[in-house]
Every structure is written in structure tokens, then in C-alpha cells.
Homo-oligomer: A and B are copies of this chain.
Amino acid sequence: LACSGVFYYKRQYLTAYAATATTLNQQQQQPATEFPSSNTFKVNVLPRKDLPTYRLDEVKKHGKSAERIWVTFQQGVYDITDFIEGHPGGNKILMAAGGSIEPYWHLYQQHENEETYEMLEELRIGNLDPRDVDKDDLYANDPLRHPALQVLSQKPFNAETPSQLLIDHFYTPNPLFFVRSHMPVPKTHRVEIDGIGVKKPLSFNVDELKKQFEVVSVSATLQCAGNRRADMSKEKTVQGLPWKGSAISNAKWTGVRLRDVLVAAGVDPNDKRIKHVHFEGADHDTEGQHFGSSISFEKAMKSEVLLAFMMNDEEIPLDHGYPLRLVAPGIAGVRNVKWLKKIRLSDEESPAFWQQKDYKFTEKINYDAVPAIQEYPVQSAFVIPSENITVKRGLTYLEVAGYAWSGGGRGIIRVEVSADGGNTWQRAELEQNPDEDLDHMWSWTFFRATIQIPPNVKEMDLVCKATDRSYNTQPETARGTWNVRGLLNNAWHHIKVNVV
């Protein structure tokens, strides 16, 4: 891939891409090398004439059992043997022995700074033959992405919807839907069903699904459990990709009801032995471990849970689970497994890492002490303005807007905004899917309000907060919800407005 080895981080919002959905679809066809490069951090390791050139086969001989351990990075070859002991991440670095360290580095943001690259360069012993560069790229099959996406990591690909485009469309255009991947985009065709209570183990592809079951649609918002993580780190540093507030999008999903498929597999809806349904994706890590997750059997049998093959009336894009993904409305994004490969009925939760350890927050790493996240708490955030802004004195009103959403289908019953840090509130106008009711509201809510700018203020502390159908509200700060993984931050959202 042309853009391999180019890192983007701390990317600012790109106004140049505030285009319409149509334009965006056209832009998606452009090559990835045209990604805007301003305000991004980029490393491009070039050959050094003072050093020898090696083929990849030679590098592979210096794997983790060898006397000297080599790795490659772009066009560099490095002997890291003497560094291993001093590596802050311990001997995890050995996973890259005899090959490229790139796939591993992308998993750990702390590598992406100048000091780390300088340190690596000191271990340089050669150049990788240009013919072998990218041969080791697990992400070579990843699709081209829309250049307006705000990229947090390229490998695996993780990107937010451009924040100021977020509420231009109630249904987020597919090319702008936020992307959360844990591993390279895989290829997959068939899905298998097995486990407790399955009388007729099934195997099918999308075409077979379409023929055998009723095709239905559901309007549903997906949100990354790390959305607004960057806000939480203002309270105290957290770990993980620094999602701002646009790791949330809404789409019309079309597919077949999971329950119809399970019943066709001979599953009795009243089978008390079945407690959970596991989903496995075709995406996998370098050791062959597939992505996996589970939801409760009770949820799986609800009419809104789909095996989806279309997104906004188009074939599901590669980044969103082509050819088939689970859509479990109201449940954390991570459970909506993409690139479906296996469905298994069980009396226990999925044993997968992403169910049992990742996406959990507990003090003292006692993972058993808390249940895996399923339904979301109530959330809201401003989109306009999207950052701390400056307005001219004399301006009387400020238009603000954003989104709100809650898990479990609990509709948003009110969003309030404040211009004074939460001392006084005014109700915002809401835009909701007219086909949904307050107890089955899988789509997000947009809010808009006109805030009066008080005369003689130097700054305003804008705040928004939402209340859901169960009258849950957002916590005032992250003081009581802070966790080192930065998950589920739903504290009141603040925007500072300077008046000059």
C-alpha cells in the first residue's frame, strides 16, 4: 500500500473536507497518498548508503531463537539484541524478531514520537532490500479510506468521523462512518453456527441468508466504548487511542434477524441452558487468535438484532464488516462483531480477550470483579462548536449543536445546554428518528440550541448534558468514572468560548 509507514497523529480537524456525502464518495476513490500531510507526524525511514542491504530472508534468520535478534522498520534493518533487556515493554519486542516491528508498534501509541525513532536508528545495521519492503505488511489488504476521516491509527485502522460533519446527516455516509478495527481487515465468506441447543448446525454465506430469511432493516447508532476518551485524560492520563468525541455514527442496517437464523438452526427460544451467544470475526492476530465477543441470549433473540449485509442501502464496506456483521443495537460497538465467521451458543460468556479483559475497567486488574460492558450509559457531546473557539464581542447569539444517545434503546428525553458551566440550563431542540419510540430508540438524537452570549463576558463555559428514558443523566465530571482504560466517558461535555 502506497501509504505504508506513514504515521498520522495529533491530526487537527480538516476544514477542507467539509464536503457533502456525494463529494465524499467521489473522493474515496482517490489514492491514499493524497492524504493531507499538514499537522501530522510522519516517519519515513530511507536507505543509508553507509550500511549494507539485506533481503528479508536474511532478516528472518535472526528470529527469536537466534543469537542476534534483528527487526525491520520500513527500509531500515536493526539489531535489537542489546536493547531487549532495556525495552520498557519487556520481551514483547521479541514478537517482531526476524520481521517488521511495525504491526506491533501501531498497537502501542507510545512508540509514535521522535525520541523512539531516534533510539531505533541508533541500532541500525542495514537497509532492507526495496523489493522486500511491505512484504511483511499484514495490512496490505486494507481498503482505501476516505481522506476526511480523522485517523488515530493506520494499522490497525482507527478513525473518527470528522467532527463538524458528524451531524450533517442523520445517517452517517458510509465513507465517513467511524472505523474501529483491532486487526487487519480479513477476507471471509461463510458463517457457521454451533453450540448448546443447536439441533441443525448451519453454514451459510450472505446469498443463502438472503434467500432463506426475511430481510429487515434497523436504524442504529454504534459507539466506540472509548469515545470521548481524550476528555477523560484531562482528569488523569488514560491508556488507549485518544478518541475525541466522534467515535460514534448512525446507519440504516439491513440484514436478517439473528433469532430467525438461530431458530432455523433448531434453537429453542426457551432453552434455559443457553445464556450467551458468541461471535467470532475472521480478523485475527499474528498468532491466529480471532477477534471475538458475546452478547446475552436474551438480547440475541430480540427482533432488532441483525446479521447485516447492507449499510445505508449499500453493500457493507470492508471496514465495517463485509460481507456480514452483527448489529446489536444499544450495545457497545465492540460486541457488534464484524467479518462474521462463527456464531456459538453457550452457557458462558465469550472467553475472548476483548470480552474478558480488554474493554473492562476495574481497580487492581481484577477482571472478574466487573461484568463485560454491554448496554451503554447516556451520552451527549457538542459537535458545533467542536473545539475551544473565539467569537467576536458584539455577537449576541451562538448556535450550538451535537448528539446524544443512550444504550438499551432508551430514548433521549431531553438535552440541556448551559452557557455558564452548568449553573443555569436551557432546553435544546431535538431531532430524532420519527419511526422510533422512546423505549426502542436505537438511533441517536441530534440537538440544537441558540445560546445568548451575555454582554461583558470574556469567556463562556458551554456545557451539554442529556437525560434518557430511564431518567439517567450524565455525571458532572469524570471524577467518579475515571478508569485507566478511559472507557465509557460520559461526563458533561464542556467547550470553552473566548469572547474578544
Give residues in A with beta carbon < 8 Å to B: 296, 298, 363, 369-371, 373-378, 407-408, 410, 413-414, 416, 422-423, 425, 427, 438-439, 465, 469-477, 479-481, 488, 492
CB closest chain-B residue, reference A440: B298
B377 with A471: CB separation less than 8 A: yes
What are 27 A-B interface contacts by the 8 Å CB criterion? A296-B439, A298-B439, A369-B427, A370-B414, A371-B413, A371-B438, A371-B469, A374-B470, A375-B410, A375-B471, A376-B470, A376-B471, A377-B470, A377-B472, A378-B472, A408-B408, A408-B470, A416-B480, A422-B479, A422-B480, A471-B488, A473-B480, A473-B481, A475-B475, A476-B476, A476-B477, A476-B479
Given known contacts A476-B480, A479-B476, A370 and B413 CB-to-CB distance under 8 angstroms: yes
Q: How far is A375 from B472 in the complex, measured between Cα atoms in Å?
A: 9
Q: How far is A422 from B482 in the complex, measured between Cα atoms in Å?
A: 11
Which of A413, A423, A471, A475 has the most chain B CB within a 10 Å cutoff?
A471
Return the contact of A480 from the options B363, B369, B427, B465 (Cβ within 8 A): B465
Q: How far is the CB of A451 from chain B (nearest CB, A)?
A: 16
Residues of B within 8 A of A378 (CB): 472
Supplied contacts A378-B472, A473-B475, 17 more A-B pairs, CB within 8 Å: A370-B413, A370-B414, A371-B438, A373-B471, A374-B469, A374-B470, A376-B471, A377-B473, A407-B470, A422-B479, A423-B479, A425-B480, A465-B480, A474-B475, A474-B480, A475-B475, A476-B479
Return the contact of A375 from the options B414, B470, B480 (Cβ within 8 A): B470
A375 with B469: CB separation less than 8 A: yes
Q: How far is the CB of A466 from chain B (nearest CB, A)?
A: 10
Q: How far is the CB of A113 from chain B (nearest CB, A)?
A: 31
Residues of B within 8 A of A438 (CB): 371
Q: How far is the CB of A460 from chain B (nearest CB, A)?
A: 17
Residues of B within 8 A of A472 (CB): 377-378, 470, 472
Q: How far is the CB of A280 from chain B (nearest CB, A)?
A: 23
Residues of B within 8 A of A407 (CB): 470
Q: How far is A363 from B425 in the complex, measured between Cα atoms in Å?
A: 10
